[in-house]
Amino acid sequence: METIFKNGNILTMDESSPRAEALAVQFGRIYRLGKTGEVEQLAGPETKIINLQGQTVLPGFIDTHNHFCLYALLTNQADCRPAAGCVKGENVVEALAAKAEKTPPGKWIMGWGYAPYLLNDKKDLTREDLDRASKRHPICLVHVSVHGAVVNSLALKELGFTEKTPDPPGGKIFRDAKGDPNGILSESAFMSPLFFDSPSIYSKIMAEYDREGRMEMMSRCASHFHRLGIVGANDPFVDALTLRTYQEAAGAGRFPFRLHAFILNRWADSLLAAGICRGFGTDWIKIGAIKIFLDGGMSSRTAAVSEVYAYPPGAGRGILNYDQKGIDREIKGLDRAGYQISVHAQGDRALDMLLKAFQRAMAKGNPHRHHIVHAGNLTPPQIDQVAELGLYISSQANFFSLLGDGFMEAYGPIRSQQLYRFNTLLKRGIKLGLSSDCPVAEPNPFIGVRDSICRRTAQGQDFGPTECITAEQAFSLYTREAAYFSFEEKERGTIKEGKWADLVVLDKDPMRLRPEAIPDCQVKMTMVGGKIVYDGQ
């Protein structure tokens, strides 16, 4: 026997056998579960014995929607979050200037985690502010929602945006009193140059790293997630270079992390032509769903809603990247080709279109496990449709403490109480998985669990308290239920004999803590495939 854990509080998340004292690991999988005395008898001279001394073991956490590759890149860029000390607009400019001092002139600089409503002075930065950080580097300051950005004058020049440039479909170039671009970009005006264009800003920065540098970046990010007990994720934005980097790092034994690469529909033609299906790959890196962006984000007021946003006046009803015929065509084509589909849809207007498209395309049930990402603004009739169609939902509880005040401002005090209806979804039997949408929010699953139970904003406002769920439910959405999104419920998500030994050891039993104290849990160990990848002891 390779490893035995004994004298523990093992929470299997398996409803048929929820607890155990000990477990044995062999060939990377759970070999035996039971009482300590029973499992100890399996030990041999080479067995590693881990005495848990009452510590708690859970299945390793799975993040069903995590921009892993973008987060890995951004951690090498300018951290402009309040948590990093950027509490005023000037602090953001200073962080960008500090990054510029370390970057060769002409190279792109990215900042991340910025939003005016997160700053004490609520300052809307423009190109003039970013020009003070540097006029020798093109700068892209990404909004915390990742649905907008601020760029400086040199970046506008490189992007070819002038006073004569029209707003692109599904996006907006904001302008000053003279009609010149002021540096604030929304949706496709930002998303296309950052991600979709070839070459994109993202791909240019990635290409500046050599093969070793890219592998080190991904390996370092995986190690960070291991410290949080996260053993796998679905990355919804993987281009060719990033996929190759993942494969090279895993092949070199430097990426003990189970990652499903979601391919943007704009990039999927070669995948379809080659006949590469979902699930193709190894135990570490697999092809996942095809990703579609239908609308924008709530806090950026770009999610497509039926009723105008409550604040600020004139904010409108958001944006759509497809009309009904367009989204019908995308959903039908990918469903007929046998691919799993993952659609970003946030506002009720976008969700209405998407549900019509799925209803027209899906013949019998949901065998491909299509799912909606976010789905924060589902109305009661739409919830009925989701249940009827058997669609899955990947959502984000940790938005409540980070973005909740912005949501309440955008929707108003009454409408906002009907957002992210987790309790209702679970009561309806709808498959729900929790995620972080990192780097939008911290990847820490304990924050997501706390927020799903407490549903409270950073300013202490209650955020739809009738939709609170329990700790047991929340942890199941990061483990057992999350495994369904990658068709791996028979391989992981619970601690059960025969499944992968993907485990996290905690110093406390989170089920017995006050919800507010759950983020204080310390990860003492993370195991993936029977190998210890983090040992905090």
Query: How do the domains of the chain map onto residue ranges?
Result: 85-207, 211-523
Taken in order 304, 402, 419, 236, the sign of the CA dihedral is positive
Angle, helices 324-336 vs 348-361, to 10°: value is 40
pLDDT, averaged per 10 consecutive residues of the chain (537 residues), comes to 97 96 98 96 96 98 97 94 95 97 95 92 96 97 92 96 93 94 94 88 91 97 98 95 96 97 93 92 97 93 96 92 97 96 98 98 94 98 98 97 93 95 98 96 97 96 97 98 98 98 98 97 98 91
Q: What is the CA radius of gyration of the chain?
A: 23
Q: How far apart are CA 461 and CA 394, in angstroms?
A: 24
CATH code linked to domain 85-207: 3.10.310.70
Q: φ, ψ for residue 172 (rounded to 5)?
A: -145, 135
pLDDT the model gives residue 124: 94
pLDDT the model gives residue 456: 97
Taken in order 507, 37, 527, 58, the sign of the CA dihedral is negative
pLDDT the model gives residue 197: 86
Whether 436 contacts 398, CB under 8 Å = yes
pLDDT the model gives residue 145: 87
Three-class SS of residue 162?
Answer: coil
Q: Could you tell me which of 190, 452, 210, 412 has the C-alpha nearest to residue 311? A: 412
Q: Could you tell me which of 460, 515, 441 has the C-alpha nearest to residue 63? A: 441
Burial class (CB in 10 A: 0-12, 13-18, 19+), 234: buried
Q: How far apart are CA 442 and CA 15, in angstroms?
A: 29
Say which CATH topology domain 211-523 has. TIM Barrel (3.20.20)
pLDDT the model gives residue 299: 85
Tokens at 72, concatenated = 């890995």
pLDDT the model gives residue 364: 84
